[in-house]
Structure 1
């Protein structure tokens, strides 16, 4: 039986990945140019919209697969801190940054602890150690 912490980290990793895939996909499907324009309207460079959407989509896939979990977790922390500071904080806690704060906590956990169960990172490490 796997350690309960390993199972918990796997659940956090998969759910976080699904959420970020949804957000990244929505940005691209809704017209990334519109998101870039919105970024410009709030004082952020429009090109950041492409970077954020790519981190969300590609990072979401990678974190579900357990590939570069800590790195992706760190990127999610940066994206979420940016979202909270630039947009959500002014909206208040409920209806504002509460959701992003929860995602930030999950991302920070994965940044600090990783997630080995059913991860490509663990598989790659095992293959390297056998060589």
Structure 2
């Protein structure tokens, strides 16, 4: 087994679980609160439901390696939105009153890597959709 495959697996599981936990948090803290917050920052409230569902379901799917390329692309768009709409004003490291966008950018970069390297032999995708399953 190649080091790249193991590294990709670790990255995929970490990113998947991180998004899953963020999705769970949105529902545990009251999805209505998330919807209201989206409205308050000028994003249509229904997008709060969409983001929460993508984070929750997409996080699980990414963890097992199913639909990796598609889920990673969705995560990139979510992170770009979070950076541009919420975190950019605070700067890279934050401004003392709020977090910066360094974690969001790191998640986006991880998702780009997974988008570009989604054919890992250590994923469900490779077992189901590969012409030559390993």
Q: Fold conserved (TM > 0.5)? A: yes
Aligned to 2:102: 98
CA contact (8 A) 2:5 2:122 kept: no
Aligned to 2:28: 29
**Structure holding more helix per residue:** 1
2:123 is the counterpart of 1:119: yes
Counterpart CA distance in 2 for 1:89 and 1:6 is 33
CA contact (8 A) 1:76 1:107 kept: yes
TM-score (norm. length: structure 2): 0.91
| Cα drift, residue 129 of structure 1 | 6.0
Q: Across the two proteins, how many residue pairs are aligned to each other? A: 128
Counterpart CA distance in 2 for 1:45 and 1:59 is 21
CA contact (8 A) 1:27 1:35 kept: yes
- Relative contact order (C-alpha < 8 Å, sep 6+): which is higher? 1
SS in 1 for 2:100: helix
Q: In structure 1, list runs of 5 or more residues that go unmatched.
A: none
| Cα drift, residue 19 of structure 1 | 0.4
Q: In structure 2, list runs of 5 or more residues that go unmatched.
A: 94-98
Structural RMSD (CA): 1.4
Counterpart CA distance in 2 for 1:51 and 1:40 is 13
